[in-house]
Structure 1
């Protein structure tokens, strides 16, 4: 899940300084769960902007914002409004905001900061879980990610700086490699830590990345 947080309202106003007529969009999925871009947040933003003298021509919750075809279809409801809109304010994540910018001509501004890919620990509480590095290491680390959990992204064991099982970079975090060790020990697979791993192939994480399932299926069929 993509975790995001609201930008300071002052920053949003700075973006919209020269814009009078606004459309606000949110997202039905991640931004709604994060309480950043759901129905409630979009309505609150509408009221705040109107108090600042802005005219909100319309609001909508895209389903989801990052789906190009869906967003193009959903934005058609504002066919007439878009002709006079000065700007669109997106409360979706950075991905969704860029998607909206592809399907609408007015300038699109972000109303949130995209933080990380994470898990929902409980309502309103999230933890970073994945760097989307392109080469998953979870198969030999007992499903604990050393790239995300370790502040240094080490793949060949701990750095030696941990104290009381806490990371030397931040005492708020457990040492990832001690977590991995304990889990592998419980599983009877400590031998996983005995092999020297090759340097991580960060080329697989080069941005921007694309995946085309249709092309993959064709290549598989022709193999």
Structure 2
């Protein structure tokens, strides 16, 4: 079961509720099974825990409550938790470095760092570790998402590097259509519902309705070229500071 809903950061949640709009981007995570975590911590008896004050707090996978629960669980398994910290955003190196500097005595008595965040946070912690400690993930990263006024999560963008929202009424067919179709719906649409999931609206039906509402149906007649997947070749890199 995915551990993710309704712990929205207070100020953001209040703003969302007032406006009734999708607000705020984040990465949704789920906690790994406890037996998997204890499995890869085998032989690592002194553990320092790093949480996340943003995305993982919102998902209930790495906020203060979850970090304390993990501490108690590890201690029940005979581990020594040397300390814990929750940077606002562990994926930002400066915040992680500051947190480590403030907890250096505990880290010097540590064998492994367990990171309760997305993969970005885990890799940021690894990059900031100067003692060669084992850095391990407590969560699985699922998808980038928007959060609605109720605090629920919706995947709406695939970061594909070739945005087509100008042609599709700001509804992404690459993400919202399970088949990623770029030139209209497949033949499996029934009563406006998706062939893959009959509870889900067909992305292209939604696109049609949005363009119709705006008097822009001519856009749907423009054929899109095949997707250029070279633009999503990983790993990505963008140098903005020389």
Would the TM-score normalized by the shorter structure come out above 0.5? Answer: yes
Distance 2:178 2:100 in 1: 41
**C-alpha distance in 1, partners of 2:198/2:69?**
37
Compared CA separation, residues 136 and 13, structure 1 to 2 (3 A): same
Whichever structure has more strand as a proportion of its residues is 1
User: In structure 1, what is the equivalent of residue 13 of structure 2?
Assistant: none
Taking only aligned residues, the RMSD between alpha carbons, in angstroms, comes to: 1.3
1:213 aligns to what SS in structure 2?
coil
- Give the distance between the partners of 2:100 and 2:88, measured in 1 at CA: 11
User: 1:37, 1:139 → 2: CA distance?
Assistant: 36
Query: Which residue among 228, 231, 235 is the counterpart of 1:204?
Result: 231
Partner SS, residue 165 of structure 2: coil
Q: Is the 8 A contact 1:94 1:114 kept in 2?
A: yes
Moved more, 113-122 or 187-196: 113-122
> Any idea what the Cα deviations from partners look like across 1:164-223, whole Å, max 9, x if unmatched?
2121122232211111011111111111100111112221111111122234xxxxxxxx
Q: Which has the higher contact order (CA 8 A, sep 6+)?
A: 2
Alignment match, 1:218: none
Q: Tell me the alpha carbon deviations over residues 122-150 of structure 1, each in whole angstroms, 9 at most, x when there is no partner.
A: 44521211111111111111110101000
Q: Work out the CA distance in 1 between the residues paired with 2:199 and 2:70.
A: 33
CA distance in 2, matches of 1:198, 1:103: 42
| Residue aligning to 2:12 | none
Note the residue ranges of structure 1 that are not aligned, 5 or more in a row: 216-223
Given candidates 151, 158, 165, the residue that maps to 1:138 is 165
Mapped partners of 1:164, 1:146: distance in 2: 18
The answer to whether the Cα contact below 8 Å between 1:22 and 1:86 also exists between their aligned partners in 2 is yes
Q: Do 2:82 and 2:109's aligned partners in 1 also have CA atoms closer than 8 Å?
A: no
TM-score by length of 1: 0.92
**How far apart are the structure 2 equivalents of 1:103 and 1:172?**
44
Partner of 1:106: 133
Q: How far apart in 1 are the matches of 2:73 and 2:240?
A: 43
- Residue 44 of structure 1 deviates from its aligned partner by 1.0
Q: In 2, distance between residues paired with 1:213 and 1:77? A: 29
Q: 1:221 aligns to what? A: none
Counterpart-to-counterpart distance in 1, 2:108 and 2:85: 17
Q: 1:118 and 2:121 equivalent?
A: no
Partners of 2:180 and 2:213 lie apart in 1 by: 23
Residue 188 in structure 1 maps to residue 215 in structure 2:
yes
Aligned twin of 1:169: 196
- Residues 1-223 of structure 1 correspond to what in structure 2 (within 5 A)? 1-104=26-129, 105-215=132-242
2:23 — aligned with what?
none
Please identify, of 17-26 and 163-172, the stretch whose mean Cα deviation from structure 2 is larger: 163-172
Question: Unmatched 5+ residue regions in structure 2?
Answer: 1-25
